[in-house]
Amino acid sequence: MPTRRFDAPGDPALSDLHGDLAERDLQPLWELSGLLTPTPRARAVPYRWRGKELRELGGRAGDLVPVDRGGNRRVLSLSNPELGGGPYASAPLWGALQYLGPREAAPAHRHTPAALRFVLEGEGVWTMVNGDPLRMAAGDLVLTPSWTWHEHHSPGDAPMTWFDALDLPLVEALEAVFFEPGPEPAAQSADPARSASERRFGAGPGLLPGKRPTRPTAHSPLLRHRWADTDRALASQFTVPDAETSATGHAHVRFADPTSGRDVMPTMRCEMHRYMPGHSAPALRCTGSSLTAVFHGAGFVVLDGTRYDIAPGDLIAVPSWTSVTVVAEESLDLFTVSDAPVLEALSLYREEAATDSVEITPAR
C-alpha cells in the first residue's frame, strides 16, 4: 500500500491545497510513496501451515460442524497473517483444507472462480463435475473449472481431506464473482470408475479422440490426472540418459490440456515436483504467487532466507518475488499451483536466480 503524507508544515498555501484536494477526493502524487516500487512488494508473507495440525483441526471440524453450514463445504481456509485477517493464502489465491466425513455429500453449486483439488491422503470420494463423476484418491488432481457444476460425495466409511486451491481473490479483485446453488437433491449415485473425460482424453499417451467438439473450451477437457500417471512421468524423467534431471536431482511435470499443451485452466498452473536427496538448485524468485502442498517425503524450504521444515500434508504460501530453495532429506514430492498463466498472458512474468541470499534463520 502506498503511504501518504498530505500535510505541508511551514507552507500554509500548500497545506490549503492539500486540504482542498482531499475534500474533492483527489491525491497529489508528489506526496505518495511506495507506489512504483523497484521490485514487487507482496503484502502476503511466506508461510507454512503444518499438515499434522490441519489434520487434527479438520477432524474436530468434522465432529462439530455439519457439512451444510456455510456454503455447503467444510473448509478451513488458509489465512495469510499479513492479508489483514482475510481468508486468503496469498493476494490472488485461495488455499484450503476440505474435510468430508463418511457418507456425507457436499451438494452442487457453481461459481466463476476456478477450483482444483489435490488429494493428500485416502480415497473413496468422488466429485461430479458437469455430470462427470471423477474419482479422488491420494495424489490425484481434480479440476472444477470456472462455472462448472460440482458436488462431492463420500460413500465410504473413512473421512477424507484434500487441498483446495481457487483463484477466488483474483476473480474478486477483478469484480467478476458469480455463484449459483445447484438443483436439489444432489446426485445420489454414479459410477466414477473411469469418467467420461478420462475415457476420452486420458486414454493413453498422445492419443486423442478422432471426433472432438468443434468449440474448444477455455480449460482442459481432461478433468482428472491420476497419481499413477504423474508418478510414472516423474520417475521416467530420472531415467532419460541425457536429461538434466539426473544431473540436478529434480524432475517436474506440468499438468496440461492434452489438446493444446496449455495450462489446465486459464488462471492457474499446476505442477508436480520430485526432488532427490542431495539435489542442488540455485534459489529462484518469480513474479506471481504459488501454493505448495507437500505430498511425500521430508526436507525443508528456504523462503526469503527463512527455513521451514516440511512434512507430508504441509501447505505453503509463496508470495510474488519470494526467493525459494528446496532441500530434500528424503525424496520429496511437491504439488504446486500458481497464477503464472495470468502473469504470462499479461507479459508480466519474470524469474531470476536469487543471488542476494542469505543467512538462513529457522521459522517461528
Residues in contact with ligand GTQ by the rule CB under 6 A: 73, 75, 96, 98, 115, 150, 164, 166
Which residue, 73 or 252, is less far from ligand GTQ as judged by CB? 73
Q: Shortest gap between Cβ of 6 and ligand GTQ (angstroms)?
A: 40
Which residue, 96 or 316, is less far from ligand GTQ as judged by CB? 96
Which residue, 171 or 334, is less far from ligand GTQ as judged by CB? 171
Residue 112 CB-density burial (10 A; 0-12 exposed, 13-18 middle, 19+ buried):
middle
Which residue, 150 or 224, is less far from ligand GTQ as judged by CB? 150
Which residue, 75 or 328, is less far from ligand GTQ as judged by CB? 75
From the CA atom positions of the chain, what is the Rg in Å?
23
Which residue, 153 or 274, is less far from ligand GTQ as judged by CB? 153
Q: Shortest gap between Cβ of 200 and ligand GTQ (angstroms)?
A: 24
Residue at shortest CB range from ligand GTQ = 164
Which residue, 50 or 73, is less far from ligand GTQ as judged by CB? 73
DSSP string for residues in 312-332: TT-EEEE-TT--EEEEEEEEE
What is the Cα–Cα distance from 132 to 135, expressed in whole angstroms?
10
* Per-residue cell: 233: 512421468
Q: Shortest gap between Cβ of 95 and ligand GTQ (angstroms)?
A: 8
Which residue, 169 or 319, is less far from ligand GTQ as judged by CB? 169
Q: Shortest gap between Cβ of 170 and ligand GTQ (angstroms)?
A: 14
Q: Shortest gap between Cβ of 150 and ligand GTQ (angstroms)?
A: 6
| Four-point Cα dihedral 284, 285, 286, 287, nearest 10 | 180
Q: Nearest 5°: phi and psi at 146?
A: -45, 130
Contact 174, 92 (CB under 8 A): no
Beta bridge mates, 115: 144, 166
209-217, Cβ contacts within 8 angstroms, sequence gap of 24 or more: 212/259, 216/259, 216/260, 217/145
How many C-beta atoms lie closer than 10 Å to residue 90's C-beta?
30
Contact 3, 41 (CB under 8 A): no
Q: Shortest gap between Cβ of 148 and ligand GTQ (angstroms)?
A: 10
Looking only at the bridges linking them, the beta strands covering 94-100 and 160-166 are antiparallel
Q: Shortest gap between Cβ of 115 and ligand GTQ (angstroms)?
A: 6
Q: Return the half-sphere exposure (C-beta side, CA atoms, 13 A cut-off) of residue 127.
A: 30
Q: Shortest gap between Cβ of 107 and ligand GTQ (angstroms)?
A: 10
Which DSSP state fits 263? B
Q: Shortest gap between Cβ of 83 and ligand GTQ (angstroms)?
A: 16
Provide the strand spans (E) within 31-178: 32-33, 47-49, 75-77, 94-100, 105-111, 115-119, 123-129, 132-137, 141-144, 150-153, 160-166
Selection from 41, 75, 118 nearest residue 291 by Cα? 118
Q: Shortest gap between Cβ of 123 and ligand GTQ (angstroms)?
A: 17
Which residue, 44 or 354, is less far from ligand GTQ as judged by CB? 44
Which residue, 98 or 338, is less far from ligand GTQ as judged by CB? 98
